[in-house]
Amino acid sequence: MELTKKIQHLYSRASFGLSPDNYISKKGSTLNDELKILFSNAKSESQKPLKNDEQFSQMTSKKYSALDRKERFKMNNVTSKNKVKKLRLSWFERMSNEESALLERMSLFWHGHFACRLGKPHFAINQMNIFRTHGLGSFRELLHAISKDVAMIFYLNNQQNTKQQPNENFAREILELFTLGIGNYTENDIKNATKSFTGWAGDFSGKYVFKKEKHDFGQKIFLGKKGKFSGEEIIDIILENRQCATFITTKIYKYFVNEKVNDNHIKELSKEFYESDYNIRRLMNKIFRSSWFYEKENVLGKIKSPCDLLVDLSHSMNLKFDSDSLAFRMYHLGQILFAPPNVAGWNRGKEWISNASLVNRLNFSKEIIRGRGLNINLEEGNDEFGLDNEGTISYNFDSLEKITQGLGDKEMVEVVSDYLRLEISTQKLTKVLESTTSSSDAKFLKEIFVKLTSLPEFQMA
C-alpha cells in the first residue's frame, strides 16, 4: 500500500478521517510523524477537562426538594434534554477537529465499551472526563474510575445493592461485559463481588458516596481468593487475571483493526498489555505501528458507524449542525451519543445495516443538498431525546473545490474518489463521469460527490 493510503487508513481508524485540506497537507508526510502528532495532541487534550454544568452538579437533595412540581418537570424534561443535546453537538465537533480526534475516538470506544445511557448533563460530562483523562492512560485507573462513576452506578442499579438486599447487576456486568467475558467466572464469583460493592452509591450532584451502613464487611471468596474484600480489591483481583488483558485487547482489536481476530496478534498484544500494567497508550501505539495494521485484509473492511459516516460527510461537505439537527440525524441513522441501546453497547459491522438504514445512508448527501426533511414521526424520539424538530444544517463544498480547482472532469472524479477512499473499478468511475452532465465546475463537483457517496463502497472504512 502506498504511503498516502496508509496515512488515510491510520486517520480513518485512529481518528475520524481527514478533511480535504488535511488530505492534501499529509501528502509527503510519514507514518511516524503522523503518529507522533496524533498521540501528542491526544495527550495535550486529555489535560483539558470539560467544564461541568453548575446547575445540575451543584444540585442537592435539599435544593431539589424545594423545587415545585413545574420546576422539577422543566429541569428533568426540558432543561436536561436541551443541555445533553448541546453536549452531543460539542462532542461531535471535537470529533470533527482532527487535532483532538484520537482522544475523541478513544472516548467513543470506551463509551461503547462501558455503555451507559446519560440523560443528565453533569453525568455525561463526568463520564466524558473519565474517558478523556484515562482513555489513553491506564486501564486499571480507568476501570476504578468508571466503577465509581455515579451515572454507571445508577444505570446498573448499584444504589439498590445493600447488605440486606443484594443487587447483582453491577457486579455481573463488570465481569461479563467490562473485564473478563462470559465463561471466565462463576455465579458464586458474581454473588461475592456483589457483596463487595454493597454501599457504593452516589448523590444527585454526581458525587460518589460510600454508604458504610449498607456495606457487607464479611468474608468473600472471589476468583479463588478469600478475604474481606472491598469493591476496590475486587477490581484489583480481576486485573490480576490475564484474561482481562486478553478480553480488552480483543475488544480493541475488533474495533480498530478487524472484526475477525488474528489469534497470534491477540496473544502478543495482550501479553504486552498485561505486562505494561494495562498501558492503553502503549497498546494503541503498538497496533498503529504494526505492519499488519496496513495489510489488505484490515483496510476498508469495516462498515462505518453512523457517527463515523456523519463526521466523514462533515469533513467533505463542511456540514454545520445545530443541536437539534445532529440529534435527529443520529437518531435517524441509529447511533445517538449518550444513549447506547443497552449495557452491551452498540452492535457493530453488519448490524449497522438494514434495508431502511442503507437507503438512508446512500441518500444522505443528496437529501442534505436538496434540503429535504426526513419522513419520520418526531414523537418517537421526543420523550427521551427531545426530538421536537429537525433543526437546521448548512453545508458548502469550499474545501473540495480547493483540491479540485483547475482539474478536468476525469481528473476531478479521480481525485474525489481517492479522497473518499473508494475502491471501485475504472468502469464504475467512467459510468459516474459519463452520467454527469452539469455545465459548471461547482455543479459538476456537487453532482459527482452525490453519486460517489451514494455508492455502497462509501459505507466502508
377-388 residue pLDDT tens: 555 556 678 887
Which residues are bridge partners to 201 per DSSP? 209
Instruction: Confirm whether 333 is domain-assigned.
Output: no
Angle at which helix 306-317 crosses helix 441-453, to 10 degrees, equals 170
Residue 337 sits at φ, ψ, to 5 deg, of: -60, 145
- As given in the structure block, the three cell numbers for residue 388 are 421536537
Same domain, 225 and 266: no
Instruction: Confirm whether 173 is domain-assigned.
Output: yes
State the Cα–Cα distance between residues 196 and 219, nearest whole angstrom: 9
The answer to whether 453 and 365 have CB atoms below 8 angstroms apart is yes
Domain boundary among the residues 196, 216, 240 is at 240
Instruction: Confirm whether 89 is domain-assigned.
Output: no
Instruction: Confirm whether 83 is domain-assigned.
Output: no
Nearest to 422 by CA among 304, 307, 305, 331: 304
Same domain, 224 and 261: no
Residue 389: predicted pLDDT: 81
- Number of compact structural domains in the chain: 3
The answer to whether 159 and 203 have CB atoms below 8 angstroms apart is no
Same domain, 415 and 451: yes
Residue 338: predicted pLDDT: 97
Instruction: Confirm whether 430 is domain-assigned.
Output: yes
Q: Grid cell 457487607 — which residue?
A: 216
Same domain, 185 and 255: no
Instruction: Confirm whether 6 is domain-assigned.
Output: no
Residue 437: predicted pLDDT: 84
Instruction: Confirm whether 121 is domain-assigned.
Output: no
State the Cα–Cα distance between residues 94 and 324, nearest whole angstrom: 17
Same domain, 190 and 249: no
Residue type at 360 in one-letter notation: N
Residue 390: predicted pLDDT: 84
Residue 289: predicted pLDDT: 98
Low-confidence ranges of the chain (pLDDT < 50): none
Quote the DSSP letter at residue 350. G
Residue 374: predicted pLDDT: 60
Same domain, 226 and 255: no
What is the span of the domain harbouring residue 258?
Answer: 242-298
Residue 380: predicted pLDDT: 58
Instruction: Confirm whether 381 is domain-assigned.
Output: no
Same domain, 249 and 291: yes
Residue 221 sits at φ, ψ, to 5 deg, of: -115, 120
Same domain, 174 and 200: yes
Same domain, 270 and 251: yes
Q: Which residues contact 186 (CB under 8 A, 6 or more apart)?
A: none
Same domain, 225 and 250: no
pTM above 0.95, yes or no: yes
In degrees to the nearest 10, what's the CA dihedral of 296, 302, 308, 314?
Answer: 50
- As given in the structure block, the three cell numbers for residue 192 are 461475592
Same domain, 252 and 231: no
- As given in the structure block, the three cell numbers for residue 309 are 459516516
Same domain, 190 and 247: no
